[in-house]
Amino acid sequence: MFPHKELLEAIIDLIRHWHWGRLIIVFTEPERIRRLVIFLEHEAFVSIRFHLIYVEDGDYLKAAKEVKYLEECNDNNKLAQQYGGSNSSPQQHCNEFSRLLLDMSPKDTHYFLLSALKVGLVEHHHWFLTTSLDLRYMNMELFKHNNARFIGLDPTDFSEEDEQKSESLLPLPNRKEFEEFVRSHWIAKNTIISSEGEMKNNEAEINIKMSEAILLFDSIYLLARSLSNETSNILNLNSRRRYFNQRQLQQISSLLFNNNITMARCAGGTRPNNRKFSAGNALNKLLREYSSTTYGLSGSLKSRLNGEQNINNNLFDTNNNFTFQILMLGYTGIIEKIGYWQYGSDIPKIDLRAESRAQQQKRIKVSDELKPHFRVTTILERPYVMLKSKESDNNFEQKQFEGFCIDLLKELANDLGFTYTIHVVRDNKYGSDNGNGSWDGMIGEIIRNEADMAVAPLTYVLSTMLKGGCDFGPRAVSTSAYTANLAAVLTVSRPHIPIRDIDDLANQSDISYGTINGGSTMQFFQESKIAAHAKMWARMKETKAVFVRNNREGVEKVLRERYAFLMESSSLEYEVQQNCNLTQIGGVLGSKGYGIALQKDSEWTDRISRQILLYQKRGVIEMKKTKWWRSKGASCHGVGSSVKQQRISLNLQNVSGLFVILSTGLFLSILIVGIELYVRKKERHQADE
pLDDT digits (tens, 9 = 90+) for 203-243: 545 567 787 888 888 777 777 777 666 555 554 444 444 44
Alpha-carbon span 384 to 403, nearest angstrom: 5
The pLDDT tens digits for 81-93 are 444 444 444 444 4
188-198 pLDDT, tens digit per residue, is 666 555 555 55
pLDDT digits (tens, 9 = 90+) for 420-441: 889 898 888 888 788 888 888 8
pLDDT value of residue 44 = 66
Residue 656: the pLDDT is 76
Tell me which of 75-84, 277-286, 677-686 is least confident: 75-84
Q: Which of 111-120, 481-490, 607-616 has the lowest mean pLDDT?
A: 481-490
* pLDDT tier, 177 (very low <50, low <70, confident <90, very high otherwise): confident
Residue 33 has pLDDT above 80, yes or no: no
Lowest-pLDDT choice from 218-227, 658-667, 672-681: 218-227
Strand, coil or helix: 145 = coil
Question: Residue 140's CB: how many other CB atoms inside 10 A?
Answer: 17
Segment among 293-307, 612-626, 668-682 with least mean pLDDT: 293-307
Q: Give strand ranges (E) for 539-592.
A: 563-565
pLDDT of residue 649: 59
Q: How many Cβ atoms sit within 10 Å of the Cβ of residue 683?
A: 10
Q: Running DSSP on this structure, what letter comes out for residue 272?
A: T
Give the pLDDT band of residue 535 (cuts 50, 70, 90): confident
Can you list the pairs that 642-646 forms with residues at least 24 positions away whose Cβ atoms lie under 8 Å?
642/580, 642/581, 642/582, 642/583, 643/495, 643/496, 643/497, 643/583, 643/584, 643/585, 644/495, 644/496, 645/493, 645/494, 645/495, 646/493, 646/494, 646/495
pLDDT band for 360, please (50, 70, 90 cuts): very low
Q: How far apart are CA 348 and CA 10, in angstroms?
A: 8
Percentage with pLDDT > 70 across the chain: 59
Tell me what percent of the residues of the chain surpass a pLDDT of 90: 4
Using an 8 Å Cβ cutoff, are 235 and 228 in contact? no
563-565 and 512-514: which strand pairing? parallel
Our CA dihedral for 606, 611, 613, 617, rounded to 10 degrees, sits at 160
Residue 674: the pLDDT is 92
Cβ–Cβ under 8 Å, residues 414 and 432: no
Architecture in CATH for domain 371-468: 3-Layer(aba) Sandwich (3.40)
Mean pLDDT of 12-29: 83
Task: Give 622's strand partners.
Answer: none
Cβ pair 303, 294 in contact under 8 A: yes
Task: Provide the residue ranges of all domains of the chain, joining segments of one domain with +.
Answer: 4-157+321-360, 161-171+205-297, 371-468, 480-589+618-631, 660-689
Q: Is residue 602 predicted with pLDDT exceeding 70? A: yes
Q: Is residue 359 predicted with pLDDT exceeding 70? A: no
Q: What is the pLDDT of residue 268?
A: 54
In this predicted structure, what is the pLDDT of residue 41? 75
Please state at what angle helix 210-235 crosses helix 246-257, rounded to 10 degrees: 80
By DSSP bridging, strand 386-387 and strand 401-402 are antiparallel
Does 4-157+321-360 match 480-589+618-631 in CATH topology? Answer: no
Q: Does residue 324 have a pLDDT over 60?
A: yes
In CATH, what number does 480-589+618-631 get?
3.40.190.10
Does the pLDDT value for residue 615 go beyond 70? yes
pLDDT for residue 153 is more than 70: yes
Residue 466, pLDDT score: 42
CATH annotation of 4-157+321-360: 3.40.50.2300
Q: Which residue has the higher pLDDT, 393 or 276?
A: 276
What phi, psi does 6 have (nearest 5°)?
-65, -35
Does 675 have pLDDT greater than 90?
yes
**In sequence order, what DSSP letters do the residues of 76-132 get, joined into one string?**
HHHHHHHHHTSSS-HHHHHHTT-EEEEES-HHHHHHHHHHHHHTT-SSTT-EEEES-
Task: Quote the mean pLDDT of the chain.
Answer: 70
> pLDDT at position 668, please?
92
Distances (CA, A) of 577 to 8, 39, 138, 593, 635: 58, 55, 57, 19, 6
In this prediction, residue 373 carries a pLDDT of 83
pLDDT score of 672 more than 90:
yes
DSSP sequence for 648-669? ----HHHHHHHHHHHHHHHHHH
What DSSP letter does each residue of 376-409 carry, written as one string? Answer: EEE--BTTTBEE-TTS-TT---GGGEESHHHHHH
Q: How far apart are CA 509 and CA 504, in angstroms?
A: 10
| Confidence at residue 671, expressed as pLDDT on a 0 to 100 scale | 92
Query: Mean pLDDT, to the nearest integer, of 384-390?
Result: 77
Between 14-23, 384-393, 511-520, 653-662, the lowest mean confidence (pLDDT) is in: 384-393
Q: Tell which wins on pLDDT, 290 or 638.
A: 290
Instruction: Of 43-47, 337-341, 357-361, give the range with the top mean pLDDT.
Output: 337-341
Q: Please indicate whether residue 89 or residue 177 has the higher confidence score (pLDDT).
A: 177
Residues 280 and 258: their CA atoms lie apart, in Å, by 13
| Residue 77 pLDDT > 80 | no
Higher pLDDT, 601 or 104: 104
The model's confidence at residue 555, banded by pLDDT at 50, 70 and 90, is: confident
248-260 as b/e: b if 16+ CB within 10 A: eeebbeeebeeee
The C-alpha atoms of residue 53 and residue 27 are separated, in whole angstroms, by 7
| Pairing mode of beta strands 563-565, 386-387 | unpaired
C-alpha pair distances (Å), 627 with each of 384, 569, 596, 617, 656: 11, 17, 20, 18, 43
Q: 287 vs 223, 298, 625, CA distance in Å?
A: 7, 18, 71
